[in-house]
Chain A
Amino acid sequence: MASFFAWLESTRVALAVRDTLLLNAGLSGVHLIGFALTTGGALVANLNLLGVLFPGRPPIEVTRPASRGIALGLLISGATGVFLFAPRATAASVNGIFQLKMALLVTAVLFHVFVHRRVARATRHVHLSGPSAVAWSQTTQRATAIVGLLLWTGLALSGCAFILLE
């Protein structure tokens, strides 16, 4: 892996990013735009699941467009992130904060895809199954939203920490 990172750092793209201040800074800015889109989508989806934004409406109505926003944001920040990673691949790969950021990113995305969306979708039908199912559903929704908010907030904080302490 170390030799791959060394090769990545020696590519023309990595050298261009490293040696061109405005390119590096511009990529970082676009990376942050993507990240804002992602965290904004995650915030809206999780606050809604928590019952704060649009109570009384099926959560999936918000989760679905928010998921598209999260995906678009991840596409933007992922594409720019690769270019930002390339010139500092070796140092970043052994950086504890960067590793935490990547671990939180993967966990947050998997949690959103496999847990959040499933809970938001299931809640549409549960109201037909009686009061106990509704109560169970609300507890599950809130717990899912809180875990989601913690994961995305942790990701944002670790991203900030990596920028500042790198």
Chain B
Amino acid sequence: MSIHPFLEWLEATPVGVMIKESAWGFPITVAVHIMGIMLSVGTLVWFDLRLLGVSMTGYRASLMYKRLAPWMVTGFAVMFVTGLMLVTAYATAAYSNLYFRIKVSAMVLAAINAFVYHRYTERRIALWDESAAPPKGARVAGLLSICVWATVIVAGRIMSYTMF
């Protein structure tokens, strides 16, 4: 069964048509999408640097997460909602774009990395919460997060150059 009828249906939804055909729908949605990336990745990187033991080592890792999480989550929510809206409008072109696939794969990897960190590494946070040099598992999670989100950003920009 082909996925193309579904993609065409997505593009014909009111959201897809609004973004594609209104003068300001696309630029405003992309601008909000980029602002969401800056808010989410811009704050997440500070927690990642703490996990790496590179910055803010005088603060407990759990406190860093607690204080930054609302900003990260808000940014990710904005990024995902506007991202879905943009994909809805250009579903067919996005589906066949290599960089869109790289971006989505990197986001899945970021989700798996976050899951593994919260499920396993964070469980023993009491042992290293105040340590300036977190354990290997935490450092790997921080480094992987930075690399994966950098990939998301670069692939996203290349996608916008190659898709239209």
Interface size on B, residues (CB 8 A): 34
Q: Is A7 an interface residue (CB 8 A)?
A: no
Contact: A160 with B31, CB < 8 Å?
yes
Question: What total of A-B pairs shows CB separation below 8 Å?
Answer: 92
Residue from the list B55, B63, B153, B155 in contact with A36, Cβ < 8 A: B153
The answer to whether A43 touches B59 (Cβ under 8 A) is no
Is there an interface contact between B42 and A39, defined as CB atoms closer than 8 Å? yes
B112 at the A/B interface (Cβ < 8 Å)?
no
CB within 8 Å of B: which of A48-76? 53-54, 61-62, 65-66, 68-69
Rounded to whole angstroms, the CA-CA distance of A24 and B154 in the bound complex is 11
Closest CB-CB distance, B32 to chain A, in whole Å? 9
Q: Do residues B157 and A28 form an inter-chain contact, with CB atoms below 8 A?
A: yes
Decide: A36 near B41, CB < 8 A? Known: A26-B158, A29-B156, A156-B35. yes
Shortest CB distance A73–B (Å): 9
Q: A25-B162, A28-B161 are in contact. Are A33 and B154 (CB under 8 A)?
A: yes
Q: A21 and B154: CB pair below 8 A?
A: no
Across the two chains, which residue of chain B brings its CB closest to A30? B154
Contact of B71 among A36, A43, A157 (CB under 8 A): A43
Q: Do A69 and B55 have beta carbons less than 8 Å apart?
A: yes
Alpha-carbon gap, A82 to B46, bound state (A) = 27
Interface size of A as a range: 35 or more
Contact among A25, A44, A61, A62 with B43 in the assembled complex (CB-CB below 8 Å): A44
Known A36-B45, A43-B43, A47-B71; contact A165-B157, beta-carbon cutoff 8 A: no
The answer to whether B161 and A24 have CB atoms under 8 Å apart is yes
Residue contact B34 to A65, C-beta cutoff 8 Å: no
User: Could you tell me which residues of chain A, from 7 to 54, have a CB within 8 Å of some CB in chain B?
Assistant: 21-22, 24-26, 28-30, 32-33, 35-37, 39-41, 43-44, 47, 53-54
Does residue B30 face the partner (Cβ distance < 8 Å to A)? yes
Main secondary structure of the interface of B (DSSP, over half): helix
Q: Does A113 contact B (CB under 8 A)?
A: no
**Chain A 142-166: CB-based contact to B (< 8 A → 1; otherwise 0):** 0000000000000011011101110
User: Which residue from A69, A156, A164 sits with its C-beta under 8 Å from B30?
Assistant: A164
| Cβ B153 vs Cβ A44 within 8 A | no
Residues on B with beta carbons closer than 8 Å to the beta carbon of A32: 34, 37, 153-154, 157
Whether A29 contacts B42 in the complex (CB less than 8 A), given A21-B161, A47-B71, A160-B31, comes out as no
A103 to chain B, nearest CB (A): 19
Known: A32-B34, A43-B42. 9 other contacts (CB 8 A): A21-B161, A28-B157, A29-B155, A36-B37, A40-B38, A40-B42, A65-B55, A157-B35, A160-B31
Could you tell me which A residues sit within 8 Å of B by CB distance? 21-22, 24-26, 28-30, 32-33, 35-37, 39-41, 43-44, 47, 53-54, 61-62, 65-66, 68-69, 156-157, 159-161, 163-165
